[in-house]
Structure 1
């Protein structure tokens, strides 16, 4: 709810603070005092379009600030946080204070703030849709769309619609998803058959080749060896000859090391250090002999018939390269294709059976959806009749005895997430007239009373934090005005209600009475807002009744009205 609104330099209001709070707040004042500016200020806080003409003459800007009491946790607090702002927790109550403000310059520039941070105007609009419903003669209707009217009827119906609607939405989702899958399977049957044929051929080709992990790298190494076998043979033979000559009489490494060792052995008895060198040469001789033996073995292993092996290896490389190009990009991907492709082929080969099973399931879901849609229609028709009766009874008490509300539930020709029903709430102003959509065929005052009647009826099932009614009592007086006040008080039992009124019969039912006071003593008219209690309130009520705030009979009448209301 709104706890307080502060206004500065807006229209004729120089600077004022409106203490609001829970319950029913009535705002009164003389004609031209600026009562409408209060609604304008609230509109700015709710994201309404800024009008530079509303900036007070001579002021640098208009400024409006609203303090809301909101849940500390929930979609409102989350949206403020997303916008970069914050809400201030109020003790351990679970509530928080949200501060929203707006400025307007004479040039038409406007800035908005939510939770202490600058925010786009759209953020204020989103918050306003969750917090406040405004009914004024120039305002849009809350129930202007067919969707909003259907949702309102469903909430009024309560569990009688909510339960089958929940079952319907589950069934409708299954039916829609199943029908979509069935359509995809049947529409793409030829494409999926071609995919299965191509996949089967690919898997056969890969299976016949039987590639192994890392085989391509191993083939590269073997081909490299065979392509250079003669170079390898010459190098290995030359190295072996240098280490241990078998085909020439020249000195080799083994002979030279042996000579060095023998030369040291004779002298080693004179110096122990030479003995260690003799041992080292002996070890080197063994190592060179071992290396020579390994080279001999390597030469023996070089296949003289390697040309045939090279041809076979190159053919295998070409086969694997072709598979990689077609099913790669790597050989590992080709091998993995066997597993994934087999699963996909199993799925594709089961299409015919799947289509039959799916079609049967979709048919069952379709029958359930049709049945639940019919149940929803029946419940909505019954709830529509009850809503008609309740709102029409309210209209009779609001000086519209010949008017009635008509709730039409028609078939929109297709199934949707909420059934197949189109709901329209219509107004029949008098017997014999054609029921027409809300907002057409009624004056502003009549429309305000229609919306009040609907809001009173929906209040128990469709709670809204705050309602604002501007001139809801236009064209009404006497007993009808008392009934309007009584119904506004009833609405205030579940919501905060703010009403701009010029009737004492309506203001009498308020639990909080504010008046806009005009001061014409200066060069420019100024207005301020004051809370009324006791004798001041009785005087304002007397002024509303007779135009005279100090008339004893008017004051007595005002006192009688207040006693009647409370």
Structure 2
């Protein structure tokens, strides 16, 4: 999972540039004002940062940033692209445009998408650590996430067990609140549902019955008319059953016609075919007459049955007016009413059992939460120690890092209890214990959240004797980047494929710069790292070295990005080390750094 290529057009001093990145450590260097920060700004746009029309290069209609990322199809970023309608079958393509009037557009996987989707995809791909972008350290929730990541499988298992019980407790709590709080309404609703179901079950309607009754009512109401018409048609076809009545029927006339054709039909096949058709008409007339006779005999002239059908229709119509326009809707209402009644119609024993289960889950949440806190506290001590050791190699040797794990205290009564109630969606109780709290094994109470009982804060004491404060307030911009680097080395995992560090080397020099480069190279063993730096000691550790170069024709200044290697790379490192690219001493120093990097890489 790597950021393969970035293309930038019309962004600040960059007219057009393409950055081909390697999987390991990529460094971006260049003279002051060449546009190194534009590379990071472009990457920020690609990850959903707020658009600024001032970034668009003068004389250019729009700025365009395009990024190609290699990720498997099952990666969260690829899945989000697919959900947005884009194509992620062969990696992910991200595009962001910013017009001169400020209008911005985003594309993910070849499809237009809101900028928010671009940001969601980016969160799974790249973490940008610049002096103005340390959101992971400014967001208290991210402190806990970093600690939990560092805790490994043991902490993950403790968190999973806690979350499972917490979710069950929340469901039971809300169910109990629903039952107890709405007792009067629930009782009334139960009565209404029971009455409706009693009435429906008493009638026992069948789906489609209203149509059957309507047809039967119509037939019974016109029974005599139906009989008279069918007998008349029968007599016309085959004659009346009374032998004393001599009426020419269809069957007789057809028979006469067939007999008239029979002698001559023997001499002409065409006429014989016509005679056979006459015979068929005779057979059909006879069959139809038989059917009419059966129908007439089956017509039921039953006044009592007609009255019963009318009563049934009236009763069914009354139900349909109240519960549904058709029997289909009526029966669906009955099913839903039975389901609702089964949920609402709880006995006192049922309520007591629900309350006991809720309390049992509450105790389990406290017990598992305390176990989770214990694992976090142990992890916090280790992380603080290891991050401090990392900072000692990053020109922050006197800094002390403390990962504070503290439980949210439970207020007993009054406004604090009501505030906690709002946070946990729990009504204020009248008992001695505040709502939404859980008991700890030591007898105290704690306010739980889905992630546990703890508030986690990474604190930094930058100087000896200074009290630790939240790292976001205690560290300068450059220190924040270095603290983040140390945290990523200690706490990072493989879920985030790319890290970007901008000016992580601010205020660093000498041997500390070599340590900084070594730490970045160490992080690059498990993730792709992109670093903007002005230190040759850091740049010497790069797996790929990119240089932002500025050129001018006297009127227009533009920048592009090139990959340097061999003598060109030595020349760039010499410029960074000595201020000029052709300094013999600086060139020798550059070669020494590259040789040292090669030895460390082989070690």
Give aligned pairs, total.
Answer: 515
* Aligned partners of 1:155 and 1:462 also within 8 Å: no
Judge which range, 359-368 or 474-483, deviates more. 359-368
| 1:437 corresponds to | 470
| 1:116 corresponds to | 110
Pairs within 5 Å for 1:283-294: none
Deviations 1:8-63 (A, max 9, x none): 33322333322211111111121122222221222222222333333333334433
| 1:16 corresponds to | 17
Deviations 1:100-120 (A, max 9, x none): 333334333444333334443
Out of 451, 458, 474, the position equivalent to 2:484 is 451
Shift of 1:135: 1.1
Judge which range, 422-431 or 513-522, deviates more. 513-522
Write the distance in 2 (CA, Å) between the matches of 1:132 and 1:451.
14
Change (3 A) 1:204 1:428: same
Larger Cα Rg: Structure 1 or Structure 2? 1
Write the distance in 2 (CA, Å) between the matches of 1:23 and 1:549.
26
Write the distance in 1 (CA, Å) between the matches of 2:380 and 2:208.
74
2:493 equivalent to 1:492: no
Out of 375, 395, 404, the position equivalent to 2:400 is 404
Pairs within 5 Å for 1:164-179: 164-179=158-173
Write the distance in 2 (CA, Å) between the matches of 1:193 and 1:466.
59
* Aligned partners of 2:137 and 2:472 also within 8 Å: no
| 1:378 corresponds to | 374
TM norm structure 2: 0.72
| 2:79 corresponds to | 78
Q: Give the secondary-structure state (helix, strand or coil) at the position aligned to 1:559.
A: helix
Deviations 1:456-490 (A, max 9, x none): 1122x354211111111111100111111110000
2:161 equivalent to 1:129: no
2:458 equivalent to 1:425: yes
Shift of 1:209: 7.3
Deviations 1:179-222 (A, max 9, x none): 22222222333333334445555566677778899998999999
Shift of 1:82: 3.8
* Aligned partners of 1:100 and 1:115 also within 8 Å: yes
Judge which range, 332-341 or 428-437, deviates more. 332-341
Change (3 A) 1:254 1:441: same
Pairs within 5 Å for 1:297-336: none
Write the distance in 1 (CA, Å) between the matches of 2:489 and 2:577.
26
Pairs within 5 Å for 1:347-362: 350-362=346-358
Judge which range, 151-160 or 69-78, deviates more. 69-78
* Aligned partners of 1:463 and 1:495 also within 8 Å: no
| 2:391 corresponds to | 395
Deviations 1:326-353 (A, max 9, x none): 6666689889999987787677655222
Change (3 A) 1:312 1:2: closer
Out of 548, 572, 578, the position equivalent to 1:540 is 572
Write the distance in 1 (CA, Å) between the matches of 2:212 and 2:16.
89
Q: Give the secondary-structure state (helix, strand or coil) at the position aligned to 1:439.
A: helix
Q: Give the secondary-structure state (helix, strand or coil) at the position aligned to 1:440.
A: helix
Write the distance in 1 (CA, Å) between the matches of 2:102 and 2:198.
75
TM norm structure 1: 0.77
Write the distance in 2 (CA, Å) between the matches of 1:67 and 1:203.
62
| 2:68 corresponds to | 67
Change (3 A) 1:512 1:355: same
Write the distance in 2 (CA, Å) between the matches of 1:160 and 1:364.
25
Write the distance in 1 (CA, Å) between the matches of 2:399 and 2:175.
51
* Aligned partners of 2:28 and 2:532 also within 8 Å: yes
2:546 equivalent to 1:514: yes
Change (3 A) 1:221 1:8: closer
Change (3 A) 1:525 1:310: closer
Write the distance in 2 (CA, Å) between the matches of 1:444 and 1:332.
68
RMSD value, Cα: 4.4
Shift of 1:434: 3.0
Unaligned runs of 5+ in 1: 90-95, 240-252, 259-286
Change (3 A) 1:339 1:35: closer
* Aligned partners of 2:494 and 2:527 also within 8 Å: no
* Aligned partners of 2:494 and 2:526 also within 8 Å: no
Change (3 A) 1:338 1:495: closer
Change (3 A) 1:189 1:69: same
Write the distance in 2 (CA, Å) between the matches of 1:164 and 1:177.
20
2:153 equivalent to 1:153: no
